[in-house]
Amino acid sequence: MKKKLVIKVSMNGQKSRSKALKTVVGASGVESVELKGADKSQIEVTGDGFDPTVLTQLLRKKVGRADLVSYEEKKDEKMENEAELQVAAMPAIYGMWPYYEAVQSSEFRVSSPTITKNQTMKQKVVIKVTMNGQKSRSKALKIVVGASGVESAAWKGDNIEVTGEELDPACLTLLLRKKLGYADLVSVEERKKKRKKKRRKMWPSWR
C-alpha cells in the first residue's frame, strides 16, 4: 500500500528547497515529491516502503527544522472521483405536504479561519510496537506518556494510539525503538474540532 507523508521544513530560498527535495528523493521507497503550501514550506512525499521517521530526521540533519505533519495511506484518486459522481436521488412521495430542512446561517457575518496560540491543533499518532508480555506493554506506555505534549495514550491491538498537542511523532518513534526495539510509525493526523450546525425545521406557508 502506498503512503503519503507531509513534512513542514524550514527552508530559506530556492537553494534550500532544492537541497530538501534532493534529500527526500534519495531515500529508499520514495516515488514522488512535491512542494506544497502557499509559502512552499511543506514537502509531500508518496511511495511505498520509506520510513517517515528516518526521513524526518534526515531533513533535520541536512536542511534544518522539520516537523512531521501527517502520514497516511494514499487514497486511490480514481475511487474518489467515482464516489463524487454518485448522486443519491430522493424518491418522490405523493399525497404529502412538502417538507423543507433549512440550515441556520448568517449572510452578513463573514470570517476567515485563523489559528491563534490558543487554537493549537491536536494530533493523533499511531505507532506499531512489538511487545512481549504485559510488563513490556506497561513500559511502552510509560515511555510515551513521559514525552512532551502527550495527553492520552492507549493500546489498540498491537498499536499505541497517542493524542496531544505539539507532538513530535519522529522523536516518539525513535524513543520507543531505542528503549524497546521495534517501533514503526503507522499514521499521523490532525484532530480538528467539528462544530455542529444548528438545524431548524421549516414548514411552507400557504396563502
Query: What pLDDT does 81 receive?
Result: 56
Question: Residue ranges per domain, the chain?
Answer: 3-75, 94-207
* DSSP letter (8 states) at residue 140: H
Query: What pLDDT does 135 receive?
Result: 82
User: Could you confirm whether domain 94-207 is CATH 1.20.1250.20?
Assistant: no
Residues of the chain with pLDDT under 70: 76-120, 192-207
List for the chain the helix, strand, coil content (%; round to 5). 30, 30, 40
Indicate the angle between helix axes 169-180 and 52-62, nearest 10 degrees: 110
| CB distance 167 to 147 below 8 Å | yes
Tell the CATH topology of 3-75.
Answer: Alpha-Beta Plaits (3.30.70)
Query: What pLDDT does 74 receive?
Result: 76
Query: What pLDDT does 131 receive?
Result: 79
One fold for both 3-75 and 94-207? yes
Query: What pLDDT does 99 receive?
Result: 47
Query: What pLDDT does 84 receive?
Result: 54
Query: What pLDDT does 133 receive?
Result: 77
| CB distance 48 to 98 below 8 Å | no
| CB distance 122 to 163 below 8 Å | yes
